[in-house]
Amino acid sequence: MNETQQSLADDPNTPVHIDDPAGEPASHGHDHDHDVSKHVKKYLLVGALLLTFTVLTVFLSYVDFGSHKANMAVGMVVATIKAGLVAAIFMHLNAERQIIYRILIFTGFFVIALFWLTYLHWYDPVAR
C-alpha cells in the first residue's frame, strides 16, 4: 500500500468493502448507477400513474353520479389514491419504520373525523 491508500484506509469515514480483507476503500462502481436507475424508473412510473389519475379526475368531473354528494365521494376516492401514492413512494413511507405508520394512521383518523364533521354540517337543522 502506498501513503495515499494507507491514509484512506485509516480514515474512519472512508467506506470499505465488507468482502475485502485488506480494508481497501470502496470504489464507486456501476452497481450504484444501476440502483439509481431502478429508483428513477419507479418514480417515473408513479408520476405517470399520478398523471393518469389526474386525467381521470378531470374526466369524472364531467360525469354526473346522481347527486352532489356522490360526485364528491368519487372525487375524494380518486384524490385519496393519488395522495396514497405520493405518501408511499415520494415521501418514502413504504420503507420507513413503524412509528411513521402510527403517525400516518393517526392522521388518517383525524382526516376522517374532519370529513365526518363536514358531513354532520350538511344535516345540521340549525344551519338551514
Q: How many Å apart are CA 12 and CA 102, to the nearest integer?
A: 36
- List, in sequence order, every residue forming a beta bridge with 25; answer none if it has no partner: 16
42 or 9, which is more confident: 42
Residue 19 in this model has a pLDDT that exceeds 80: no
Q: How many Å apart are CA 127 and CA 121, to the nearest integer?
A: 8
Largest Cα separation within the chain, whole Å, is 85
pLDDT at 62: 93
pTM confidence score = 0.52
Say if CB 103 and CB 110 are below 8 A apart. no
* 18: confidence class by pLDDT, cuts 50, 70, 90: low
Question: Residue 15: what residue type?
Answer: P
24-65 pLDDT tens trace: 555 555 555 667 877 888 899 999 999 999 999 999 999 999
pLDDT at 58: 94
